[in-house]
Structures are given as C-alpha cells and as structure tokens.
Structure 1
C-alpha cells in the first residue's frame, strides 16, 4: 500500500475545501536512488569549508532517501562568489547539486558586489554545521600587538579575494573606524595567507577562529598569533582580547560594524539552488539534520578538530531574511568603505 502526505499550499486552501495533490513519501527516494550529488565548495582544498564539505559528503548520503553518492568539487574564486554564481545560475535545479560557501556571501549580495549574480533569499538553505568567531590577529613580533596599536601603527594583512573575510574585514574596519590596515591581495585562500605570514610577506590576517585552528593547529597556544580583537559583541574567553566594539565611538560606526559582523551568525552555510522541488529540499534538510547527530559523523568531525554547533535550514533561512532587513543607508555606507561601489564613468564631452 502506498502512503501519501499532503503538501501544504496555504491554510485557506484546506478551509475552502480545495483539493490538495497528494505527494508519495517515496517520491524523493525514487528520485535520489542511483544518483550522485555534486557538492560545490567555494574554496580551494585545504580550508575549513573544504574540510567540512568532505566530512559531510562521507556521511550525509545514507540519510537521504535513496542513499545517493556524493562528489565534492572545489570551485574557488572571487571570495566564494564564483561558486555561488554557479550554484544559482548553472547548477541543475533538481537536488543533485548543493554548495557550501562563505558566510559573507549574503552580505556581499546586499553590498552589491560587482561580481554577484544571485539573490540569496531565493536559495534553499539546508543548514550549517558550525558557528564560530572571527578575529583579527598579528604575528608575534609585528609592530601591531593590540587593537589600540592600529590607530598609531600599520599592520600588513593578507587578502583571500574580493568579498572574502580576510579582504573585506580590514577594509571595513579601516574605513569605519580608521584602523591602519594595509591589505595585500593575491592569495587564493586563508591557508596561502598564513604561509605568507610565515614567510614574512604579511604580518596578520582577519579570519575565523575555527579556520585558524584548522590551518595552523596550536599557533594560538604557542603564542604564534596575537589576537587583537574579535568581531562579535561577546568576547572570546579563550583569548582575553577585547571585542571590536571597544573601539566603536559613534552610532554609525556601531551600525556598520554590527551589519558587517552579522555574517558570523550564518556559520558555514550550505544551500541548494532555487527552484528545487519542495519535497527534495525537505529530504535534504532532514538528512543534514540527521547527519549532524550521526555518531560516525560526530566521531570523524571530532578526530579532525571540527566542532559541531549546527543550524537547521529553516534557522539559516530566517537569519538570512533578517540580515536583508538592514537599513539601506547602512548598507550603502558599508558598501562605500569596503570599496565595492562602482565608479561612475565620466561622460566624454562632445567636441563642437
């Protein structure tokens, strides 16, 4: 006997006696059986997003009806924007492609980054495996060793591509608060920036704590990094460093910093393209939730030094929607200081 469930199409439809098409609960299983899900990663191999994607890929398939296989695929470029554009515009909209990309992506869309070709509110958000803090750090022995130093001395930091946190964070803090960051671009990800720190090419980076722990285990404990401040309102007890809000002086500065820092509340967002059938989105969301509680997955994550602090797809979607409510004038000001506004071309005067 087949079992059916009703797809919700609005309370009014049922009240009015409108017929609702039944959907077989085995529909998702029939679709995903013998399929392979491509997992797009907006970062080069070796980074934390890459690490999370590969661990999830080894476990999530058995929680999806039909038990499809997974194929992780790195697609770095433009601070994860290349991968996000692909997921939105090119990837099949049938549930066979999902992606993980920077938590900064929704912010970059609001800031009208020139490379953005997507609308974050239309993605089908599946969840996030962790939440983490973002910090700005300096190498031991660099001229800058405290947040206060940044108002009198210069810190040379490495960038990981337009739109990435290592690139955007120092721009925003320099423009909004007057901190003396000097940004050097040209690195293809945080691991490359940290190699540059070791070589003495740059002196620091703004990056997540989890990312730094994963790329350079033990550097914090050994004193290799000096944490200047964290970007969230609550300080990280582990470091004894202030938050960026210690250096905020005006209401506008607070609003800009709050808007920019809100992206950390999105964790490591995973999404399917817009247009994927609702039953498949539900199957993927529930499979993600089950994976986060899977003992085998949890054991592997722990072995790799990954800390699970998950968000559901619904929670992630709500946070993205809240971020979109930021006042337009604050978005415009942040866009301006981050250097993302397109310069208007001067019209050539016609010769008489």
Structure 2
C-alpha cells in the first residue's frame, strides 16, 4: 500500500476477521489492491479493481462478502465505499437468477466489465416513474443520492410502477436520456465518492424481478448489514494508533482506557456481524436483525471515532493525512445510519410483534 496508508495501518496489525482466516478470494483481492495506484482515492482505478474482484465474490457466502468489505475498509474507507454498491448489485442480480427472475441485460450493453450502482433512495420532490408499453419499460424522473453515477456504466434503480408499488430496474447510465449531476457535493469525507441526483427521460429499463420483488426478496436485509461490515472494518483500523499511543512512555491509564473501550466495542460489533451472517445463511433476511446489527456497529464505530479523538488529540488530525482522511470518511459513511430514527424503528418493530431472539 502507499506510504500514506501505511502510516495508519501498520503491517504488524492483522486484518479484522469475522471468525475465519481470509479466504483465497479475499486474500487475492487485497493482494491485488496493493498494485492499484491511489487505491480508494482514484475512483476509476479502484472501480476497475472492484469489477475484477466483485465477480468472484458475487456468489460467495455472505460472511465472505462481508469479510471483503471489512478488510477493504480497514485499508481504505473510500475503497470500501466504492466496491460496496457494485458488489451489492452483483449479489442482487445473482439472487434474481436463483429466484428464477433473472433479467436479460444484453440490451443494455451490460457485461462482465460493467460497473454497477444501486440507487434505491427516495427524496422529497424527487421520484422515478416506470411505464410499460409494447416496446418495453421506460423510466422518467429524478433519483437522489446516486453515488458515483458519473463513473459507473449501469445501475439498479427503484422506480414507482403505481402509487403503492415499486419495482427494481436495470438501466444504462451512458445514454443521452440520462443526466448524471456532479453535485452539489461539498463533503470533506469521501470527497471522491460523489452522491448526486440523476435525471431520466424515457430511459430504457429492464425489470429485475416482479413488482415488489426487491423489497420482499430473501436477501434484502443483507445489503444494509453489508454497509455495517464496512463501517466495522474502517473503525477497527483506529485501534492501530490507539495501541501505538498506549505503548508509549507517556501513556497513562486513560490511554489504556480508550484502547480497551474501542477494543470491547469492536469485539461486540464483530459478534453481532458473525451472528447475523450465520442467521441469514440459514433463515434468510430479517429486517429487525439487520436494524439491530447496523445500530450496534454504528454505535461501536462512533465510540471508536470519539475515543480516538480524545486519546490522540489534534495532532494526527492535522499531521497524519491517512488518519485525518479515515476519520472524515468514516464519519460521513456512518450517516447512512439515521441515528436515533433507525434505533426507534427497532422499538416500533418490537411493539408490533415478538422479539426474534
């Protein structure tokens, strides 16, 4: 890895593990990342790595996919943010094939070299509407929060078929009827991973699954936890400078306290991820479990950010480029968790039905 990354992620610190040694596929992916120039900050180079990596992991066991995301985020948060939606799209398409609802994407020019995003967010005053005709499906409207749209070739998007039902569609992002905005994006963290609206005007679309399949499919909850696996891997890297600080002659009980608190938080989050991977592999997705894991991991990552600030002070935030970027990147990435609102959703689910323990 570059020297900038090496300042934060020391060679004597192992990659975070979700219970097993790195599989050959994950190990190969991380080895290939070494040769990627500006890994994580050069979007095109990192996307090329993601395409080469994602095809092998798209049908791998869930725990292996999460291990890849966690290990990638441990090295570079931006790289994890780049590969996560591409891998999510490939796993959704693989699930559609297993469910017997696979789509023929050849008409969109999609192939093994395609770079995918998943655009499922909704926003006030922004809406995609899908219409069918004898010539096939088309989509019009505006979709918010479309990460890396200007760099991708294809995307899976949710669009409203009627007032109550959304469907999932594959589209090409390279046609004249697609406008990918370049902002506004004033982020200091993940500045290279621009998330901005796209405008569609009668864009040709291929349905993936039937109406409502995307939200009701077995693997829906997995995607939300995949993001949490990346948060966890990124936060684990903060243990490295905390351990270094606790080893110095000037270290006191407070330095040991911060290291211990973050270690305990990371261990707890790891346990929740491992439990979810095991449950999902046997029983399928459970949105309540996914919400619990996301909340546990988000709280643990926020604990790591807070403890590293308190333990290390301002010096690495202004003098260590890798550390400063990691803190900023992880802080923004965590905002995909909606804080107290997401935690309140757990309570709402528990009020509506029994706890699935």
The answer to whether the superposition gives a TM-score over 0.5 is no
| Greater helix content | 2
Greater relative contact order structure (CA < 8 Å, 6+ sep):
1
TM norm structure 1? 0.29
Larger-gyration structure (1/2): 1
